Chains A and B, each alone.
Chain A
Amino acid sequence: MYDITDYHEATSLAEVFKLAAADPKARIVAGGTDTLVKSWAEVPAFTGIALIGITRIPELQGIVCQEDGTLIIGALNTFVTIEHDPLIQKYTPLLSQAVSLVGGPQTRHMGTIGGNICNAGPAADSAPALFTYNTTCEIQGPDGVKNVPIADFYRGPGQTILKPGEVLTRFKIKAGDYQDFHGHYTKFARRNALDIANLSCAALVKVQGEQIRDLRLCFGAAGPTPLRMPVAESYAKGKPLTDATLAQIGQLCLQDTHDITDWRDTKAFRDHLVTVLPGRDITAALRGA
């Protein structure tokens, strides 16, 4: 049995705020694919606490495209829903591809995109895509609504800026951040399923003829949080699409990554992947174009 003291099924955000105010130690749980695993492993912050379930709150569902082209993705959408959603596939296919690689089908049926980001794992598969789309996170709390760029949402591994009682409610992607871009994501792991990335890389590229007009790169598991690559991205603008350019982009990424050696992989191998995955992703993205 899980070491939890109580369970509340919230049916509205207002109810979450009320429950969280009454019990500030209570933890919010969505699909449970991270939270329950941590509780099972007796991670202190996940035991001896009450859980507030939020999967039955209608405000957190839905995927819509606004008139100005902004894509709004409810935080409680599961990976399976995101993967197959026609709007996601049409406007942000990189995100559809990325979440199709999470865990296995069972995990993708329960796990949610909001939970994936709130869990703040450095290797979360939805994160690099959301970073490259310059996604805004909408946070609602008892004090109102805040909009925060996803890069500012993370404080460290497993740490976000969310305060007790606050809920990540929606992701917003502006039309200018997906139009004319081509994307590809590589999850470099030992198995094709039920694994966590040793290193992952998302690339979003816009080209004009043989020239790179815009490039966005984000690595997972190359530092304490997902990381964008400002040095390589600014170098790439206006450069010709050649093997030499792609190789140089890979080399420049080493200036912004912070690879470490852990049980999953060595720093040396991760550094090697950092230099090659961006070129492969850019090539794959443009082949699919």
Chain B
Amino acid sequence: MKHEINFTLNGEAVTCAVDIRKSLLEMLRDDFELTGTKEGCGVGECGACSVIIDGRTVDSCIYLAVWADGKAITTIEGIAQSDGQLAPIQAAFIEAGAVQCGFCIPGMVLASDQLLKDHAQLSRAEIRRGLSGNMCRCTGYQKIIDAVQLADAKRQADPKTVVLPHFKIEQ
């Protein structure tokens, strides 16, 4: 059975007739081919499938696709600049060496980005708590926390600068 839903996906208004049995994760990957959102545990315990829904970090594996109706959703594909420049938090992840196998990183980056938006300033303890819904089995977390601290420090140094020194994706 399908339901027609309307929502905003990475800034673009979309309409979709979606199978009511699907999770948001399945809809994003299968219907929209946005495969940056990863499936880890499938039961809301690892955060690999995190997306931002109306300014809140949510596990898309335990979120029904039909619930997206009327919401604004950001996936990892939606946070870089339109010209391909990485978002400050993505640049900070690279600068801090926060990525190893990379599977948890889309969720980590989104959760970190939202955490920065929600707090004018972040302590290391607040970063740890803010990212406690995202598991990483490679890095031991330290460099991920370093990356968020780095992004926080850079925006404190120049709050007007939205785009930080960044890396450009090779076209």
Q: Is the CB of B57 within 8 A of A33?
A: no
Q: Is the CB of B21 within 8 A of A194?
A: no
Chain B residues with CB under 8 Å of A104's CB are 47, 132-134
Q: Is the CB of B1 within 8 A of A6?
A: yes
Chain A residues with CB under 8 Å of B22's CB are 1-2
Q: In the complex, how many angstroms separate the beta carbon of B38 from the nearest chain A beta carbon? A: 14
Chain A residues with CB under 8 Å of B152's CB are none
Q: A105-B130, A193-B132 are in contact. Are A53 and B44 (CB under 8 A)?
A: no
Whether a CB of chain B sits under 8 angstroms from the CB of A234 is: no
Q: A105-B133, A109-B56 are in contact. Are A37 and B50 (CB under 8 A)?
A: no
Q: Is the CB of A32 within 8 A of B57?
A: no
Q: How far is the CA of A107 from the CA of B69 in the complex (A)?
A: 20
Chain A residues with CB under 8 Å of B3's CB are 7
Closest to B54 in A: A109
Closest to A111 in B: B44
Q: How far is the CA of A110 from the CA of B57 in the complex (A)?
A: 9
Q: A7-B3, A103-B133, A105-B130 are in contact. Are A40 and B42 (CB under 8 A)?
A: yes
Chain B residues with CB under 8 Å of A5's CB are 1
Q: A2-B21, A6-B1, A105-B111 are in contact. Are A32 and B64 (CB under 8 A)?
A: yes
Q: How far is the CA of A103 from the CA of B59 in the complex (A)?
A: 12
Q: In the complex, how many angstroms separate the beta carbon of B136 from the nearest chain A beta carbon? A: 12
Interface flags for B41-77 (1: CB within 8 Å of A; 0: not) read 0111111001000001111001110110100000000
Q: Is the CB of B44 within 8 A of A1?
A: no
Whether a CB of chain A sits under 8 angstroms from the CB of B145 is: no
Chain A residues with CB under 8 Å of B50's CB are 106
Taking a contact as CB atoms closer than 8 A, the residue among B26, B62, B63, B66 that contacts A1 in the complex is B26
Q: How far is the CA of A37 from the CA of B133 in the complex (A)?
A: 16
Task: Give chain A's interface residue range (CB within 8 Å of chain B).
Answer: 20 to 34
Q: A40-B42, A107-B133 are in contact. Are A1 and B58 (CB under 8 A)?
A: no
Q: Is the CB of B67 within 8 A of A53?
A: yes
Q: In the complex, how many angstroms separate the beta carbon of B30 from the nearest chain A beta carbon? A: 10
Q: In the complex, how many angstroms separate the beta carbon of B19 from the nearest chain A beta carbon? A: 7
Whether a CB of chain A sits under 8 angstroms from the CB of B94 is: no
Whether a CB of chain B sits under 8 angstroms from the CB of A9 is: yes
Chain A residues with CB under 8 Å of B129's CB are 105, 193
Q: Is the CB of B59 within 8 A of A107?
A: yes
Q: Is the CB of A36 within 8 A of B62?
A: yes
Chain B residues with CB under 8 Å of A3's CB are 21
Q: Is the CB of A106 within 8 A of B42?
A: no
Interface flags for A29-57 (1: CB within 8 Å of B; 0: not) read 10011001100110000000001010100
List residues of B whose CB falls within 8 A of some A CB.
1, 3, 19-23, 26, 42-47, 50, 56-59, 62-64, 66-67, 69, 111, 129-130, 132-135
